[in-house]
Amino acid sequence: MAANNYGPKRLVVGAHYGTKDFIVQRITAVIMAVYTLVLIVGVLAMPAFTFEHWQALFTFHVFALPVGQILATLAFLALAYHAWIGVRDIWMDYVQPVGVRLLLQVLTLLWLIGSVVYFAQILWRI
């Protein structure tokens, strides 16, 4: 007799990332969209498009708190996590050999971590 593989008795397999990753990816997208709007407003409000004004867009302080750097770091972390979810799902959907998939996921994760470290090194050295 054939297995009942539909309805409430269906066999559900996989990592069950679905809902959590869907919500996290939407939240990171909102963070990036808001930060993009902040950058656009900041660029439009610049008196002149010079290096000093561009740098000030990322290094402004409010009550001695480096708000520009904190916002940029938050946006970049959101970008990295958003990219990780998307690329990981691509590897999980389209790469069938488990060893190759694991290698690609590890390389992607190392690349994203390296990008975050490089970003932080550049931004927080200003």
List residues forming the annotated binding site for heme: 82
Which residue ranges make up the annotated binding site? 82, 94
Helices assigned H by DSSP within the chain = 18-44, 51-59, 67-94, 98-123
Cα–Cα dist 106/126, whole Å: 31
Cα–Cα dist 109/91, whole Å: 12
Which residue ranges make up the annotated binding site for a ubiquinone? 94
